[in-house]
Structure 1
Amino acid sequence: MKLRVSAIQYHLHTIQSFDEFAEQVEHYIKTAEEFSADFVLFPEFFTTQLMSIGNENKKALTIEDLPDFTEQYRELFIKLAKQTGMHIIGGTHVVRKGDKLYNVAHLFYPDGRVAEQAKLHITPTEVNEWNMAPGDGLQVFETDKGTIAMLTCYDIEFPEIVRMAKAKGADVIFCPSCTDDRHGFHRVRYTSHARTIENQVYVVTTGTVGSLPTVDFMRANFGQAAVLTPNDIPFPPRGILVEGELNHDMIVTADLDLELLYQVRESGSVTTWRDRRTDLYTDWK
């Protein structure tokens, strides 16, 4: 099985309306469609751009206001997935359930279905400044191009949760991210590489670039898209199929061959998935 993935370095800047947001999203989607992508990945928190629209007093909206755009967000991406026949990971969007806010990754299927995966590990800023709540369960998602998981930013830094995703059958981990400095960016990037080696899976990641001068905690962004592989003979020596230019508005595209994963799990230079010592430490099923 082969599939083509595109990852978007989404440029954040101040906008005046939801229509402006939709036009920018459609630009990236049309570009990925021209590349014949099967999957398109947007970054974490890219819909915070909607907060820059502001209120009647010309002040930026708050994180509490962002869920008010959920219906429009879903309608836009459902329409685009149906029109293009692509699977779209619509980054993450903040949703309200009861009296709690969740940072939720959305998978939009070409047939109109929508799947969700709430972020499971919440950073101190998300808790202290935005009062986010963590999700309470991991899912993997079956598609006609294989089984995937969506683990957002901080999630990828926890090896246990990625091991669970692999144990559930995921061959590709999509990791939408949003980091505001080099330190945060490299935490996500280095641990993404580690997860590909430990579990012999692909990781597709991307982040926000640009800035939202009026939106607190989104004033700085440091991002780069990358498609990462295990470090073994069938793959590039550095484990990078493709990566973008740091902090540029752009899209990167690469082809994933799932058969190569199956081969290295069976007879690679190392067989890390097969050789895990479940007699010494817990496995996750």
Structure 2
Amino acid sequence: MKVRVSAVQYHLHTISGFRQFADQVTHYVKTAAEFEADFVLFPELFTTQLMSIGGADGEALTINELPRFTDEYKELFTGLARSTGIHIIGGTHIIYENGRLYNTAFLFYPDGTVAEQRKLHITPTEVKEWSMAAGDKLHVFQTAKGTVAMLICYDIEFPEIVRMAKARGADIIFCPSCTDDKHGFHRVRYTCHARTIENQVYVVTTGTVGSLPTVDFMRANYGQAAVITPNDIPFPPGGILAAGEINDDMVITADLDLDLLYQVREKGSVTTWRDRRTDLYADWS
């Protein structure tokens, strides 16, 4: 089975109302629809753009105020998924529950179903500056176009959690990300490549670009979308099916062949998933 995926390099800039955010999101989804994508991925923390709307005092909204947009955010993406027939990974949005903030990825199905995955590993900045809480469950999601997982930025840097996702049947890992410099970007990017090799899965990743000058910790963004494969003969030698231009406002699209994954797992140049030594180390399945 072949699956077409698009990934959005979302351009952050100051806006004055939710309508501007909705128009920008709709533009990207319609672009993916023109390419007949089955999935479209938005970046982590891209809804912080809503904080730039500001309040009555003229100051940017705080992270604690961002969850007030949750209903509008869900309504927007649910409607777009229904109208286009695309599975939309709506980046991440901050939700509030039982006195805690959670950085949460949402999967919007074409039939109106909404699924979510909370970020499992929280960066020191998220803890110190935003008091973010960590999720405590890994989910994989069955779709008409295969089994997928959503692991958010820092999550991809922990090999155990990706092993668990693969063991539960995930063939595609979607990794929405937000990094502010080359160091953070390359940590995420290199570990995305490592996870494809270790688990013989596809990884689709993207990040925010642009700037929110009034929003603390979102003033600098360094991002690039990529569709990453295992490094074996059926795939590109560098393991990259598609990649965007760094820090440009754009959408990339590529086709994933799931049958090729199954072939290399059985008789590839290396069979890393099959050859893991569970007699020597824990099997995270």
TM-score (normalizing by structure 2): 1.00
Query: What does residue 119 of structure 1 align with?
Result: 119
Structure 2 residue identity aligned to 1:75:
E
Partner of 2:242: 242
1:37 maps onto 2:37 in alignment: yes
Distance 2:27 2:116 in 1: 24
Who is 2:130 aligned against?
130
Q: Which residue of 2 aligns with 1:195?
A: 195
Q: Distance in 2 between matches of 1:223 and 1:121?
A: 20
What is the total number of aligned residue pairs between the two structures? 285
Pairwise CA distance, 1:283: 0.7
1:121-140 Cα deviation digits (max 9, x unpaired):
00000000000000001010
The residue that corresponds to 1:51 in the other structure is: 51
Aligned-partner Cα distance in 2 for 1:116–1:29: 19
Aligned to 2:220: 220
1:197 corresponds to which letter in structure 2? I
Tell me the secondary structure at the aligned position of residue 65 of structure 1: helix
Q: Distance in 2 between matches of 1:281 and 1:137?
A: 22
Measure how far apart 1:215 and its partner are.
0.1
Could you give the per-residue CA deviations for residues 206-229 of structure 1, whole angstroms, max 9, x where no partner exists?
Answer: 000000000000000000000000
SS at the partner of 1:236? Answer: coil
Task: Report deviation, 1:148.
Answer: 0.1
Letter in 2 for 1:201: V
Q: Which amino acid aligns with 2:197?
A: I
How far, CA to CA, are the matches of 1:96 and 1:116 in structure 2? 14
1:26 offset after TM fit, Å?
0.3
Shift of 1:29: 0.5
1:91 corresponds to = 91
1:113 counterpart letter in structure 2:
T
* Structure 2 CA distance for aligned equivalents of residues 268 and 110 of structure 1: 35
2:116 counterpart of 1:150: no
**Counterpart position of 2:161:** 161
Structure-2 residue corresponding to 1:102: 102
Separation of aligned partners in 2, 1:144 and 1:283: 28
How far apart are the structure 2 equivalents of 1:30 and 1:39? 12
Instruction: Give matches, 1:65-76, under 5 Å.
Output: 65-76=65-76
Shift of 1:284: 1.9
Residue 185, structure 1, aligned to residue 171, structure 2? no
* % identity of equivalent residues: 77
List structure 1 runs of 4+ shifted beyond 2 angstroms: none
Q: Which amino acid aligns with 2:204?
A: V
Q: CA RMSD in A?
A: 0.3
Mapped partners of 2:119, 2:232: distance in 1 = 30
Q: Does 1:277 align with 2:281?
A: no
User: Within 5 A, what are the aligned runs for 1:1-40?
Assistant: 1-40=1-40
Alpha-carbon separation, structure 1, partners of 2:27 and 2:84: 13
Runs of 5+ consecutive residues of structure 1 not aligned to the other structure: none
Cα distance in 1 for residues equivalent to 2:143 and 2:30: 21
Q: Residues of 2 paired with 1:102 and 1:87: CA distance?
A: 22
User: Structure 2, unaligned stretches of length 5 or more?
Assistant: none
- Give the letter for the 1:123 counterpart: T
